Amino acid sequence: MRLLLSACATAALVVAGPLTATAAGQGPQGPVGGDLLTAKPTVVADGAAPPAVQASAYVVADVDTGDVLVAKAPHAKLRPASTLKTLTALVLLPRLKKTDPVVGTDADAGIIGSKVGVYPGLRYTVDLLFQGMFLASGNDAVHALAAHDQGGIPATIQRMNQKAKEIGAQDTHVTDPTGLDADGQFSSAYDLALFAQAGLARPDFAKYAATKYTAFPNAGKSGTYQVANQNKLLFSYDGALGVKTGYTTLARNTFIGAARRNGHTLVVTLMNAPHGVTEDASNLLTWTFKNYTKLNPVGTLVKPAAAVPPKAETGTTEGKITTGTTSTAHPPRSRTVLNPGQAVQSIAFRVPAWVYAAPPVLLLGLFLRRPKALRRRRH
């Protein structure tokens, strides 16, 4: 009898277990972008042998097709440093009006790390602060921009994490929009490629990323000073489109670069590199362009989730500029053809878990209720 009860209870748990996992969307899945794109520290390429690179992780992908052409530990979760500012830009660019004035604060000027020179009481435009963010990797410019947006820094962090999910960047978690080393903050070479792909699709992002020089106002005196882009690829590589560099003591060198040659636009991302990051990026780009026709994709950059369409907003409010995109409340569902076995399993999973658990519970009650005659004999 005990064996029968155990068998029934086990059957209920076996059925209810997969039901929970299926309902939560936590079934067995391969790495995002393809089975070959893992966090393992191995180089994956098909068609030619890539040059040696010192970075712990990297990705080279075609921005237009989404093909990942070579990768090394693409999903390893590492500290992104200032390359995370590409995600910050993806969040703030569509929300802020470029001509809006922003007055520098003590909090902007007092931030640690790299600065472009935002001073308390000095007036800047949103456009100029974006230039300071891209070219000089100014943490002060990032702080001023995020504080200018509705909800300030906390809301920006929340929007960044949401944006990462929307575009499929599942390796990324944000706790500081500047990219400074912070507990719980990480990304991957694969996710950085997603940020670059999404960013380069925006004319304003692409313009800031490729700008070589700008002028910033002096504090306390007239005139300006020149600010040069820290991405040396712009100055040394034919067809370079720039994007973003990064460095902290813990993250070491991180890098996002892009270039266009022969009708192809490639992005290269590197993380945890000791030094020589520009040279490594150049070598990877040159090798990929040279062997482009020989290379077979080893993965793909996933497309943004169709289930999370952008909100329909128009007009300019509270210092923000929004786009007039529209979306349907109920996007069309894709059709999936099931074989007979899958169909039965699908129907079984639709049945509530308590239906399977009820029979063992009822049986347990019946067997625990002993007949009166049996109870009298024992007395």
The question of whether 82 is a catalytic residue gets the answer: yes
Q: What is the pLDDT of residue 221?
A: 75
From 72, 77, 85, 163, active-site residue? 85
Identity of the amino acid at 97 = K
Q: Which segments in the chain show pLDDT lower than 50?
A: 1-28, 306-379
Q: What is the pLDDT of residue 336?
A: 28
Q: In 3-state terms, what secondary structure has residue 95?
A: coil
HEC profile of 224-283: EEEEECCCCHHHHCCCEEEEEEEEECCCEEEEEEEEEECCEEEEEEEEEECCCHHHHHHH
- Point out the annotated binding site: 244
| Number of other CB atoms surrounding residue 251 within 10 Å | 24
**Residue 6, C-beta contacts closer than 8 angstroms, at least 6 positions apart:** none
Q: What is the pLDDT of residue 323?
A: 33
**Residue 55, C-beta contacts closer than 8 angstroms, at least 6 positions apart:** 72, 189, 253, 255, 270, 271, 272, 273, 277, 280
Q: What is the pLDDT of residue 16?
A: 31
Are 283 and 51 within 8 A, CB to CB? Answer: yes
Instruction: For 174-205, write each residue's pLDDT tens digit.
Output: 999 999 999 999 999 999 999 999 999 999 99
The question of whether 290 is a catalytic residue gets the answer: no
Distance CA 117, CA 266 (A): 32
Instruction: For 242-293, write each residue's pLDDT tens digit.
Output: 999 999 999 999 999 999 999 999 999 999 999 999 999 999 999 999 999 9
The question of whether 137 is a catalytic residue gets the answer: yes
Q: Phi/psi of residue 330, each to 5°?
A: -130, 90
Helix then strand then coil, in percent of the chain rounded to 5, is 40, 20, 45
- Point out the annotated binding site for substrate: 244
User: What six digits make up the tokens of 284?
Assistant: 């990877």
From 72, 77, 82, 163, active-site residue? 82
From 114, 137, 188, 282, active-site residue? 137
